[in-house]
Structure 1
Amino acid sequence: MSLLGAAGIGLLVGAVVGALGAGGGIIAVPVLTYLLGQSEHAATNGSLVIVALTAAVALPGKARRDQVRWRDGLVFGAMTTLGAVPGRLINERLDAETLFLAFSALLLTVAATMIGSSFRDLCGGGSAGAGPCSPGETRGTPRRSPVLVAGAAAVTGLLTGLFGVGGGFAVVPVLVVAMGFGIRQATGTSLLVMIIASGVSILIGIARESFVLDWSLVLLFAGGSMVGGVLAGRLSQRVPSAVLSATFGVLVGIVGMITLVRTAAGV
C-alpha cells in the first residue's frame, strides 16, 4: 500500500482515538502488520509513535471541555513506568506468533468488559431514581486503594511496553469500572496516560537500540491520525456515553477476532 494510503488509514485510526480516547493502537498494530507490510515488532514500535502523537493532539480539546482529570492522569501515568520496563523486555524476547496470540486474547477480554459496562451506564450503578450520567460526570467515585491503583497502572505500563498499544484500551476500563470515572472523563484522562506510557516505552526501546521502524510511513500515518483525532473529538460530544462505551467494546472485539484468526492461520 502507498504512503498516501497509510495517511488515509491514519485518519480513520485518529478518529477512533479522538472519539473514544483509546483504541488507536489496537487498530494501528494490525494495520501496520497486515496492510502496510511491517513486521510484528516494527508494528508495535510504530504504533507507540502514532498513538503518542495522536493523543497529544486530541488532549487539548478534551481539556477545554473539562474532561481531563489532570492529577489522577499524571499520577496514573507516572506509575505505568513500573510495568513499562519489563513489558518492553518481554516484547523483545517473544516470537511474533506468541506476541499476537496474547494480544488477541487480551483484546477479547477487554471487549467483553467494556460491552458489559455499557449496560450499567447509569449513575449509582443503575439504582432506583438514578438518571443517565451527564457528559463528564463520574459514577460516584469509590474509595480507592492506593495498592489497587498502583497495580492497575503497572499492568497498563506492562501492556504498553509489551504490545505497543499506548495503553488507552486498558486505561479506559480501569478508570470507568475500578475508579468511578464517567466515560467522557475516562476517555479524556486516558489520553494523558497514553502519552506518558507510550513515551516511556519509546525511550526504553531507543535506549536498548531495539526501536527500529519505517519513519516516513509512520509519520504519514501519524499525520492522518492527528487530523482524524481532532475532528472526531468534536463530533464525539454529541454521542451518548453508553454508545461510546459499547462502540469501544465492539471495536476491540472485532479487531481481536481478526487478529486471532489470522495469527492462528499463519496468514
Structure 2
Amino acid sequence: MVLSFIDVASVISGVIVGFVLGLIGGGGSVFATPLLVYFVGVSDPHIAIGTGAAAVAVNALVNLVPRARAGQVKWRCAAVFAAAGFFGSVAGSTLGKVFDGQKLLLLFGIVMLVIAAQMGLTKGAPLEKDVRLTSENARKMAPLLISFGFGVGALAGFFGIGGGFLAVPGILAATGMPMIYAVGSSLVSVAVFGATTAVNYMISGLIDWRISALVLLGGAIGGLFGGALATRLAGHKQALRQIFAVMIAGVGFYVIYRGVLALMA
C-alpha cells in the first residue's frame, strides 16, 4: 500500500504530539489542531478539531494505565473533576461546532500564547502533604473540583484540546495534592474531555477517522521516545518546559497570522 503525503504527515504530527506529551507531561495536544490544519492540510478547522480530539482521548487512556499502576491517580478527586468537566466539554464543544472556523483558529492562536506563558513561567510545585477527597473535606474541596473541572472542560471542548495543561493547575488549586498525583489524575479528565468532544463532533460528521488513527499511531511512537528522553533529562524538566513554551508561542503567532489573513481575504 502506497502512503500519501497526508498519511505520512498525519503520523509525523502524532509523533510530535506524543513526543511532547511523553517528554514534559502536558501541552502536546495543543499542537494537534495547527498541525492538522497547516501541515496535514485538513481544510475544515472543525474536522481538524474533532479528528485531533479523538486521537487525544485514546492517547490519554494509554498514558493513564502506567500512571494508575504506579498509584499516581487520586481517583475520587479525578472522578469529580472529570464529571464536572464532562458537562463543560459538552457545552464547549457544542458552541465550538457552530463558531466560525477561522475565528475559532484565531482565538486558538491567542490561547496558545496564554498556554506558552503559563508553561514558561510556572515552576514545578514542590511535593505537599498527600490529599484525598473524604467526607470530612468534601464540603470545601468538592465545590472547587466541580468549578475548576467545569471551566477546564468547557475550554477543552471549545478548542478541541486535551486540556491537561489546564487540568493540572486546576486540580492543584482545588486540592493541593502533590504534582505527581495531579499529573496522573489529570489524564482521567483529558480522556473524558477528548472523548466527549470527539463524540459531539462525530455526531455532526466532523471526524476523519483515518487521519485520527494515523495521528494516534504516531502519538504512540512519539510517546515512547519522549518518555525515554524524559527519564534521562529528569533534572532539566523546567528548562524543557520553557523551550516548548517558546515553540508553542511561535506556533501561536503563526496561527494568529494565518487567521487574520483568512478573515481579511
Query: Under TM normalisation by the shorter chain, which class is it?
Result: 0.7 to 0.9
State the shift of 1:245 in Å: 4.5
CA distance in structure 2 between the partners assigned to 1:205 and 1:122 by the alignment: 36
CA distance in structure 1 between the partners assigned to 2:208 and 2:197 by the alignment: 17
Mean Cα displacement is larger for which, 229-238 or 75-84? 229-238
Q: 1:213 is paired with a residue of what secondary structure?
A: coil
**What is residue 217 of structure 2 aligned with on the other side?**
223
**What is residue 152 of structure 2 aligned with on the other side?**
156
State whether structure 2 residue 84 is matched by structure 1 residue 79: yes
Distance 1:261 1:172, change over 3 A: farther
State whether structure 2 residue 114 is matched by structure 1 residue 109: yes
**What is residue 19 of structure 2 aligned with on the other side?**
15
State the shift of 1:222 in Å: 1.0
Q: 2:122 is paired with a residue of what secondary structure?
A: helix
**What is residue 25 of structure 1 aligned with on the other side?**
29
State whether structure 2 residue 209 is matched by structure 1 residue 204: no
CA distance in structure 2 between the partners assigned to 1:79 and 1:246 by the alignment: 30
Q: 2:33 is paired with a residue of what secondary structure?
A: helix
Distance 1:3 1:175, change over 3 A: same
2:161 to 147, 162, 165: 165
State the shift of 1:247 in Å: 4.7
CA distance in structure 2 between the partners assigned to 1:175 and 1:244 by the alignment: 22
Distance 1:117 1:177, change over 3 A: farther
CA RMSD, aligned part only? 2.6
CA distance in structure 1 between the partners assigned to 2:166 and 2:14 by the alignment: 21
**What is residue 36 of structure 1 aligned with on the other side?**
40
What are the superposed Cα offsets for residues 140-189 of structure 1, whole Å, 9 maximum, x if unpaired?
76986433321111111111221111221321232345543444333322
AA partner of residue 94 (structure 2): L
Distance 1:40 1:156, change over 3 A: same
Asked whether the equivalents of residues 104 and 256 of structure 1 are also in contact (C-alpha less than 8 Å), the reply is: yes
Asked whether the equivalents of residues 17 and 28 of structure 2 are also in contact (C-alpha less than 8 Å), the reply is: yes
**What is residue 61 of structure 2 aligned with on the other side?**
56
CA distance in structure 2 between the partners assigned to 1:52 and 1:40 by the alignment: 18
CA distance in structure 1 between the partners assigned to 2:252 and 2:100 by the alignment: 18
Which 4+ residue blocks in structure 1 deviate beyond 6 angstroms? 139-143
AA partner of residue 230 (structure 1): L
AA partner of residue 194 (structure 1): V
**What is residue 237 of structure 1 aligned with on the other side?**
231
- With normalisation by structure 1, the TM-score equals 0.82
Q: Which has the higher helix share?
A: 2
Asked whether the equivalents of residues 119 and 242 of structure 2 are also in contact (C-alpha less than 8 Å), the reply is: yes
State the shift of 1:89 in Å: 1.8
Q: 2:206 is paired with a residue of what secondary structure?
A: coil
Asked whether the equivalents of residues 117 and 245 of structure 1 are also in contact (C-alpha less than 8 Å), the reply is: no
AA partner of residue 62 (structure 2): V
Asked whether the equivalents of residues 45 and 164 of structure 1 are also in contact (C-alpha less than 8 Å), the reply is: yes
Asked whether the equivalents of residues 160 and 194 of structure 2 are also in contact (C-alpha less than 8 Å), the reply is: yes
2:258 to 255, 258, 262: 262
- With normalisation by structure 2, the TM-score equals 0.82
